[in-house]
Structure 1
Amino acid sequence: MSQENLAPNETMQIHEMLNFKTICMTTSKMMEGVVFDQELKALLEKDVQQSITSIAELQNLLKKASKLR
Structure 2
Amino acid sequence: MTNEKLAPNETMQIHEVLNLKTVCMSTSKMMEGVVFDQDLKALLERDVQQSIISIQTLQKLLEKAPLIR
Same fold (TM over 0.5): yes
Partner of 2:25: 25
What secondary structure sits across from 2:67 in the alignment? Answer: coil
Structure 2 letter corresponding to 1:32: E
Shift of 1:29: 0.1
Matches within 5 A, 1:1-69: 4-69=4-69
- Structure 2 residue runs of 5 or longer lacking an equivalent are none
Aligned-residue identity in percent: 75
Q: How far apart in 2 are the matches of 1:19 and 1:68?
A: 20
**Structure 1 vs Structure 2 CA RMSD:** 1.0
C-alpha distance in structure 2 between counterparts of 1:39 and 1:61, whole Å:
33
Equivalent position SS for 1:66: coil
Unaligned runs of 5+ in 1: none
Runs of 4+ in 1 over 3 A off after TM superposition: none
Opposite residue 10 of structure 2, the aligned amino acid is: E
Distance in 1 (alpha carbons) for counterparts of 2:62 and 2:27: 23
Deviation at 1:3?
Answer: 5.5
